[in-house]
Amino acid sequence: MTYVIAEPCVDLLDRACIEECPVDCIYEGNRKLYIHPDECVDCGACEPVCPVEAIFYEDDVPEEWAQYTKAEVDFFDDLGSPGGASKVGKIDSDVPFVVALPAKEE
């Protein structure tokens, strides 16, 4: 595990991180983006381009968002490692606690 996308990304889905990622390891769910823990090469390119500062190195995730570290792993339980997000496109799914979050106001 390397980087984690936390709650500020929910319902925002800015995608600047996807454009910056050199290994195509950031996947799009319905309400949140997810970094594949086995495909990420720990380059950190995604972190500074996030407009809402939702991306953290795994050891730096704020305690209030600790569950997002596990979410990055759980999201890929059924999907496995497709070898690139652009191959699969948007995934019609999210981890259960993200699904249960109230929608953010625009």
pLDDT in tens, 95-106: 999 999 999 876
The Cα 38–Cα 76 span in angstroms is 10
Decide which of 3.30.70.20, 3.30.43.10, 3.30.70.270, 3.40.50.720 is the CATH code for 3-82. Answer: 3.30.70.20
How far, in Å, are 58, 61, 93, 104 from residue 28 at the CA level? 19, 20, 9, 17
Domain boundaries, the chain: 3-82
pLDDT above 90: percentage of residues in the chain: 93
Closest Cα to residue 74, out of 61, 93, 87? 93
Residue 105's pLDDT is 72
Mean of the per-residue pLDDT values of the chain: 95
Burial 78-106 (b: 16+ CB within 10 A, else e): eeeebeebeeeeebebbbeebeeeeeeee
Question: Is the pLDDT higher at 23 or at 105?
Answer: 23
Q: pLDDT tens digits for 69-93?
A: 999 999 999 899 999 999 999 999 9
Of the pLDDT bands very low, low, confident and very high (cuts 50, 70, 90), residue 65 is: very high
For the stretch 27-61, pLDDT in tens is: 999 999 999 999 999 999 999 999 999 999 999 99
